[in-house]
Structure 1
Amino acid sequence: MAVEVKELLEAGVHFGHLTRKWDPNMAPYVYMERNGIHIINLYKTAAKIDEAGAALAKIAASGRKILFVATKKQAKDVVAEKAGDINMPYITERWPGGMLTNFVTIRKAVKKMASIDRMKKDGTFNTLSKKERLQVDRLRAKLEKNLGSISDMTRLPGALFVVDIKREHIAIKEAQKLNIPIFAMVDTNSDPRQVDYVIPANDDASKSIDKILTYVSSAIAGGLAERKAEKEASAAAKGDAKPKAKKAVAANEEEE
């Protein structure tokens, strides 16, 4: 999907923060100041979306997961929808401390959730007392709220995509410790040096977040389609090879 500067403009991606709240390291991405607000250079935003999109498509094509992180109100629903559409994990509630650096513990919590589901399927759940069932249901609901979308994530993600790096600073630090590439929407009040792939953009308006994530999710979908096509081609090649091998064996037997 080609990035249109006009679309970015209409979505308000160019609106930064008040000039007194800015981080000087964002200077290369600032176009001008208007009425005490920094205006982001959308041509640079478009170029950075293309760069990030290409890198994310490669990660998706390799079969690794991209974990989306956005706990602010304006981003929650947008991220859940866009990440869900491309079957990628996401965190839209509170970031569970140690989500990456203590992944083994997080996996235990996910397994606990799976075991409760098994209890309900095999009838064990019905043998519990009313009080115990209530406690188990509460635990399941709590786990679902915090970890629901990452229940299929069996290993560390290949990358993180973050909306608002100031708010999600714990997630950023954990990814940095583990050398997990960080992609992020970075507003004028944040330090872009913390991120591997910076997308300078307004991270406070849902319309802006939606527009950026539309481009990003489209790039990831392209990577996933490429992976699927390669798998199908490989399977077809193997299928063609079998009849040929059988014919060769039959020919050898006839010669003998």
Structure 2
Amino acid sequence: MIIRRALPRPGLPAPSQCLRFPRQQRTLATSPGPESDLARHGKVLPTEPPARSQGHRIRPVTADRPFTLKDEFENFQNFRKQSSHTGSRLSRHYAPYKHASRPPSPSDLTLELLMASGAHLGHATALWNPGNQRYIFGIRNGIHIIGLEHTLSHLRRAARVVDRVVEVFGTVLVVGTRAGQERTVVQTAEMMGGYHLFTRWTAGGITNARQILAGEKVVEINDLGEPNPSGPMEDPIPVRPDLVICLNPLENYVLLKECGQFGIPTIGVIDTDADPTWVTYPIPANDDSLRCISLIAGVLGRAGQAGLRRREAEVAEWKLEGEQEDEEAMMEEEEQVEDEQMEIKNWEDFENYMKKREALQDEQLKEINKIQEDLPSTPTLW
């Protein structure tokens, strides 16, 4: 007969019957009890003291003070307290913006993480675009399933593009106009030092930028937010991005078309109902899941952050080299000034020497004339 209720279940408090079970087993057993040991040996063997690391000292069992139910309960409570911190801990909430604020690097991205974010879920089979056939893994419950191996490879390729563009001082524009994407778009742009847009795109912002930006105020390049004191530019020069990351291509077809006309590369999240030819570097994934979008945008932002760090290190090296060159130039100028001053000093010394020499010659000439005057005049022979 198997008694299942007597065994404690993991994660549940042990019942009181389980605590009494060892006492009943010792009572019903054929082994002699503590009284027979006391009568046989005349004394009770001392129990070994527990280790100090346990933090709880078990009371020794004697004939006068047997092991009671209270002692068993205290030991059980102590054991539960000591083992409460062992094992893994599961959080009871999900942070929707965790992947955008602390995203994994492209090398640490896994298929399990993509599946957990819902990147494999496509649209209904009736809404599919034939251009996405190579990205579709299969059909389940009337919807297309996206192959995550394609998502992973295309996402890593796009991450390399972002990394390189940011490293070579490129301008990156992150666009996401759906509800709930504002925070993700802003965080991604801040990580890579780019620009963001979470409102409606103004048509002609790239193709007709001179007319649209004609009345706009020009902001200083140091990003202080101070308008240009000279006022609006009469003939503004349009600034076009070097790379555009679009998180919802279906709502931003005009932007993607303008980028295509000017040869601006684009990265977009392509679902099964979108056309992959709209963007330069498609990422087949679920564009309706905020968790999936946050993960993809976070990975791209982390790649841009790596490129930004290398760019800052390169700029710091350039500044150091420039400072060294300036110091060398200043030292050369100082040496040149010292040489000029030395030449001037030498010339002044030469002039003083010539003046002293002329004065000495004048004095000698005066002495000679005076001597000649003092000599007696000699008589002439004729």
| TM-score tier after normalising by the smaller chain length | 0.7 to 0.9
Aligned mates of 2:132, 2:276 — CA distance in 1: 7
The answer for the alignment partner of 1:8 in structure 2 is 114
Cα RMSD between the aligned structures? 2.9
The amino acid across from 1:214 in the alignment is: G
1:173 aligns with 2:279: no
* 1:58 is aligned to 2:142: no
Moved more, 52-61 or 211-220: 52-61
3-state SS, counterpart of residue 229 of structure 1: helix
Residue aligning to 2:248: 164
Structure 1 counterpart of 2:378 = none
Is 1:223 aligned to 2:329, yes or no? no
Shift >3 Å, 4+ stretches? 84-87, 241-253
Larger radius of gyration: 2
Does residue 196 of the first structure (1) align with residue 302 of the second (2)? no
Q: Please give the alpha-carbon distance, in whole angstroms, between the structure 2 residues aligned to 1:111 and 1:180.
A: 25
Q: Which residue of 2 aligns with 1:232?
A: 316
Is 1:75 the counterpart of 2:159? The answer is no
SS of 1:183's partner is: strand
Alpha-carbon displacement from aligned partner over 1:11-30 (angstroms, at most 9, x marks no partner): 11111111111101101111
Q: How many Å apart are 1:248 and its aligned residue?
A: 6.6
Unaligned 5+ residue runs, structure 2? 1-104, 230-236, 344-382
Aligned residue type for 1:83:
A
Post-superposition offset of 1:112: 7.6
Larger RCO (CA under 8 A, 6+ residues apart): 1
2:122 alignment partner, SS class: strand
**What is the rounded CA distance, in whole Å, between the counterparts of 2:294 and 2:201 in structure 1?**
21
Q: Which residue matches 2:149?
A: 43
- For residue 103 of structure 1, report the CA deviation from its aligned partner: 1.6
Question: Is the alpha carbon distance of 1:118 and 1:242 closer, same or farther for their aligned partners in structure 2, counting shifts above 3 Å?
Answer: closer
Question: What's the CA shift string for 1:195-229, capped at 9, x where partnerless?
Answer: 11111111011101000001001111111111111
Q: Give the Cα–Cα distance (whole angstroms) in 2 for the partners of residues 185 and 17 of structure 1.
A: 14
Separation (CA, whole Å) in 1 of partners of 2:328 and 2:219: 48
User: Per residue, is there more helix in 1 or in 2?
Assistant: 1
- Residue-by-residue CA offset, 1:108-136 (whole Å, 9 max, x unaligned): 3541899xx879xx9xxxxxxxxxxxxxx
Q: Distance in 2 between matches of 1:6 and 1:229?
A: 34
Are 1:31 and 2:152 counterparts? no
Shift of 1:247: 5.9
Which deviations, in whole Å up to 9, do the C-alpha atoms of 1:128-180 show, x marking residues without a partner?
xxxxxxxxxxxxxxxxxxxxxxxxx9710001111122211111111111111
Q: Which residue of 2 aligns with 1:130?
A: none
More strand by share: 1
Q: Secondary structure at the match of 1:83?
A: helix
Q: Could you tell me whether the CA contact under 8 Å between 1:45 and 1:201 is conserved in 2?
A: yes
8 Å Cα contact 2:210-2:238 kept in structure 1: no
